[in-house]
A and B are shown apart, each in its own frame.
Chain A
Amino acid sequence: AQSVTQLDSQVPVFEEAPVELRCNYSSSVSVYLFWYVQYPNQGLQLLLKYLSGSTLVESINGFEAEFNKSQTSFHLRKPSVHISDTAEYFCAVSTGAAGNKLTFGGGTRVLVKP
């Protein structure tokens, strides 16, 4: 079975400062990796994904994540956050089994302060 650990449950950060959200996974087989974002009172939205190819993936709103197989990590970064980035962020993995079901980490709540 696979598991996902998000080491930080909450990350307070000032507006325009950089942020890094850490995600480590455990799996005996190859995985596909995802970051989802949940804004207040909204459903989960896919932020970015790694399926194959370049280990650095980017989102349209300035986030990036890098797949590091040796470290079994998929950390999420943004060089300069906005107030609107306040949300909960979930890292997830899929092995491709069971219809590509997702295994999620516990989430990291990002609070951007002015």
Chain B
Amino acid sequence: DTGVSQDPRHKITKRGQNVTFRCDPISEHNRLYWYRQTLGQGPEFLTYFQNEAQLEKSRLLSDRFSAERPKGSFSTLEIQRTEQGDSAMYLCASSLAQGLSSYEQYFGPGTRLTVT
């Protein structure tokens, strides 16, 4: 297993454009999380899925943000009408919802978004 992967690793877009990021979790993991990390800060929780169900969304996730995990495997995070304040590193993590393993989240390398 190669771990959690994210694509693209870097994205530069102009304000007002839509962007979509993809996350592929560790294959047997049924939980998938999205976090956002701005410069000099720790990651902040955005949302999580258990299988294909989105079970929690942070207030940070405005209406311009939407996340999906249609088949309970990979997930996409779309940002519509991007703003400069959306510039950040978007991190994906996965875990196995089983006993103590459920507390161990494995993170991908992140997608760095720059909105110009």
The interface residues of chain B lying within 8 Å CB-to-CB of A90 are 42-43
Q: Annotate A56-94 by CB proximity to B: 1 below 8 A, 0 otherwise.
A: 000000000000000000000000000000000010101
Q: How far is the CA of A9 from the CA of B40 in the complex (A)?
A: 9
> Which chain B residues lie closer than 8 Å to A107 at the CB level?
40-42
* Ranked 9 nearest A-B pairs via Cβ: A104-B42, A44-B107, A98-B56, A43-B109, A43-B107, A99-B48, A101-B45, A104-B43, A106-B42
In whole angstroms, what is the CA distance A82 to B100 when docked?
Answer: 31
Nearest-CB distance from A96 to chain B (Å)? 8
A32 and B56 contacting across the interface, CB-CB below 8 Å: no
Residue positions of A touching B, CB distance < 8 A: 4, 6, 9, 32, 34, 36, 42-46, 49, 51, 90, 92, 94, 98-107
Q: How far is the CA of A90 from the CA of B37 in the complex (A)?
A: 12
Give the size of the chain B interface in residues (CB under 8 angstroms). 28
In the complex the two chains form, what is the Cα distance from A102 to B105 in whole Å?
Answer: 9
Contact present for A94 and B103 (CB under 8 Å): yes
Known contacts A43-B107, A46-B104, A106-B41: A99-B91 contact under CB 8 Å = no
A32 to B95, CA, bound (A): 15
In the complex, residue of chain A having the shortest beta-carbon distance to the beta carbon of B102:
A100
Interchain CB contact under 8 A, A100 and B103: yes
Contact for A99 among B33, B35, B104, CB less than 8 A: B33
Residue of chain A at shortest CB distance from B48: A99
Across the interface, which residues of A come within 8 angstroms of B103, CB to CB?
32, 34, 49, 51, 94, 100
Minimum CB–CB distance from B51 to chain A (whole Å) comes to: 11
Least CB distance from B35 to A in Å reads 8
List which B98-113 residues lie within 8 A (CB) of chain A.
100, 102-110
